């Protein structure tokens, strides 16, 4: 594969990091999350996040003085803002579905304390809803889509003393200029993930206090071939780390941090069966216990048996619904028969089945809800992640909710998203079905009862 200029620059940075004698500060503030932890994935709300790990490591290799404030671990927002403002340079924040209140508070406070500071936003939320978010938060720069290559260009730009209005040549940016949101040309997605540096987790304050990370999330790929109506997807193509690059990362993480369990957070871990098998080889070699996420339609019994041999404990399937009409309306590209087959074969291989379920997709009916509950009762699936349909920015479901008048103000809606919770029967509902809300809540409660029963024996 011929590497793009972005890929060449990132690969070169890994092997030839820049000197750091005179570089300014690059401070990341990682926001809190009100989410109720999903069973067996609670650690993901405290351990290093992969996206921030990559951004912090790229900035460090580019020679900048990197520091992370992790509000998830109890640090006060006001303290993080004071230190960030005092350090100067660049203050960067990721944007998540539930992070808008923290994003607003941090950007406002650091600018008030130090008007000369440069603010930077990136991540899934601002990439999915850039115009209203940039107008509301007014960062100096927003990176849209993948951040690593754009960050390199942007840091060079800032270090040279250039202003946001001079950044139009940098692909992949959103800018707040002259009271309007402006965009540069989109940046091409990285297809060779081997060029990414292995993340330096010692940059996280929690790891500085205790380098031992027994459980950790990571990915071996980016993107998905699916186009589900409810799923926001900033990377349209599937790109991969090679098994060889993956092994280098596993070797470092197990050696430095003693990690013995990984949650592989690929959207579709089994998209390439031969490559999946080679990834399993690596996990087996290092004696790792692990879990993964994937879709149901590319399931092979022989591979499942090998995954179990290589330490796979459970698979998180994006089931969502077991009614064909509902699945088709959601553009799942999945047949109910494929769900049934995947679950049965996974259980047969000795692997636990963890199901992601959505209550209230368009087309939902009393019959479709009953199918979901009956399926969970008669199969050995564990309905681990249960949620009411949530319209995420950047999805067709979001556009539908706007068109039907459920969302009239983007920013007000983002404030409500900060309070949404998975596995909470009392969570708010945007009802895009013809069912009364009471039917949705009743089905949700029954699914939660099944989950409680199954988790007793997990």
Q: Domain extents for the chain?
A: 5-183, 212-455
What local confidence, expressed as pLDDT, does residue 42 receive? 85
Mean pLDDT, range 154-183, rounded to an integer: 94
Mean pLDDT, range 228-243, rounded to an integer: 87
* Residue 208 structure tokens: 């500085």
Q: To the nearest whole percent, how much of the chain has pLDDT over 70?
A: 99
b/e 73-96 (16+ beta carbons within 10 angstroms → b): eebebeebbebbbebebbbbbbbb
Contact 242, 194 (CB under 8 A): yes
Domain 212-455 belongs to what architecture? Alpha-Beta Barrel (3.20)
Question: In the structure, how many helices (H) and strands (E) does the chain have?
Answer: 17, 15
Q: To the nearest whole percent, how much of the chain has pLDDT over 90?
A: 89
What local confidence, expressed as pLDDT, does residue 40 receive? 80
Rg of the chain in Å (alpha carbons): 22
What local confidence, expressed as pLDDT, does residue 184 receive? 97
DSSP 187: P
List the single range of 41-45, 186-190, 398-402 with lowest mean pLDDT.
Answer: 41-45
Contact 93, 68 (CB under 8 A): no
**Residues comprising the chain, all counted:** 458
Helix (H, G, I), strand (E, B) or coil at 92: strand
Q: Give per-residue pLDDT as tens, 319-341.
A: 999 999 999 999 999 999 999 99
Fold match between domain 5-183 and domain 212-455: no
Helix (H, G, I), strand (E, B) or coil at 36: coil
b/e 146-157 (16+ beta carbons within 10 angstroms → b): bbbbbbbbbbeb
* Residue 21 scores a pLDDT above 70: no
User: Look-up: residue for tokens 């050995």?
Assistant: 380
CATH class of 5-183: alpha beta
Confidence of residue 456 (pLDDT cuts 50, 70, 90): confident
List the single range of 17-31, 364-378, 434-448 with lowest mean pLDDT.
Answer: 17-31
What local confidence, expressed as pLDDT, does residue 422 receive? 82
Which of 99, 102, 94 lies closest to 144, judged by CA?
94
Q: Give per-residue pLDDT as tens, 385-423.
A: 999 999 999 999 999 999 999 999 999 999 998 888 888
Contact 188, 150 (CB under 8 A): no
Number of Cβ within 10 Å of residue 11's Cβ equals 16
What local confidence, expressed as pLDDT, does residue 85 receive? 97
Task: Sort 322 into a burial class: Cβ within 10 Å, 0-12 / 13-18 / 19+.
Answer: buried
Mean pLDDT over the full length of the chain: 94
User: Look-up: residue for tokens 């494929």?
Assistant: 338
Helix (H, G, I), strand (E, B) or coil at 122: strand
CA 301 – CA 185 distance, rounded (Å): 44
CA 291 – CA 74 distance, rounded (Å): 28
């Amino acid at each position: 594969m011929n590497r793009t200029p972005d890929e060449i620059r990132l690969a070169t940075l890994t092997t030839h990091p820049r000197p750091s004698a005179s570089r300014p500060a690059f401070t990341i503030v990682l926001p809190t999350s009100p989410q109720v932890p999903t069973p067996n994935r609670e650690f993901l709300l405290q351990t290093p996040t992969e996206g921030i790990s990559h951004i912090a490591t790229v900035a460090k290799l580019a020679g900048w003085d990197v520091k992370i404030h992790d509000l998830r671990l109890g640090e006060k927002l006001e303290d993080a803002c004071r230190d960030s403002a005092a350090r100067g340079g660049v203050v960067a924040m990721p944007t998540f579905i539930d992070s808008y209140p923290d994003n607003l508070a941090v950007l406002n406070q650091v600018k008030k304390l130090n008007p000369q500071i440069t603010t930077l936003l990136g991540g899934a939320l601002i990439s999915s809803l850039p115009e209203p978010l940039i107008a509301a938060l007014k960062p100096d720069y927003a990176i849209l889509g993948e951040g690593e290559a754009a960050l390199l260009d942007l840091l060079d730009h800032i270090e040279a003393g250039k202003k946001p209005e001079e950044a139009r040549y940098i692909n992949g940016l959103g800018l707040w200029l002259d009271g309007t949101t402006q965009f540069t040309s989109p940046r091409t997605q990285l297809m060779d993930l081997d060029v990414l540096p292995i993340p330096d987790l010692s940059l996280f304050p929690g790891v500085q206090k205790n380098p031992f990370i027994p459980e950790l999330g990571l990915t071996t790929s980016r993107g998905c071939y699916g186009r589900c109506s409810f799923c926001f997807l900033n990377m349209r193509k599937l790109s991969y780390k090679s098994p060889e690059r993956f092994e280098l990362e596993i070797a470092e993480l197990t050696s430095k941090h003693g990690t013995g369990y990984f949650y592989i957070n690929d959207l579709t871990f089994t998209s390439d069966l031969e490559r999946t098998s080679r990834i399993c080889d690596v996990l087996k070699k290092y004696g790792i216990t692990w879990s993964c996420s994937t879709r149901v339609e590319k399931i092979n019994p022989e591979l499942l048996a090998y995954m179990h041999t290589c330490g796979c404990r459970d698979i998180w399937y994006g089931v969502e619904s077991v009614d064909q009409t509902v699945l088709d309306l959601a553009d799942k590209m999945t047949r109910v028969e494929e769900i049934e087959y995947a679950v049965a074969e996974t259980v047969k291989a000795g692997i636990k089945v963890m199901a992601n379920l959505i209550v209230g997709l368009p087309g939902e009916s009393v019959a479709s809800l009953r199918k979901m509950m009956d399926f969970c009762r008669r199969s050995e699936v564990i309905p681990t992640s249960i949620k009411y349909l949530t319209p995420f920015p950047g999805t067709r479901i979001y556009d539908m909710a706007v068109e039907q008048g459920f969302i009239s103000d983007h920013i007000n809606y983002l404030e409500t998203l900060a309070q949404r919770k998975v596995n909470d029967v009392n969570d708010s509902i945007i009802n895009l079905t013809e069912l009364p809300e009471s039917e949705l809540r009743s089905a949700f409660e029954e699914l939660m009862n099944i989950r409680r029963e199954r988790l007793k024996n997990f």
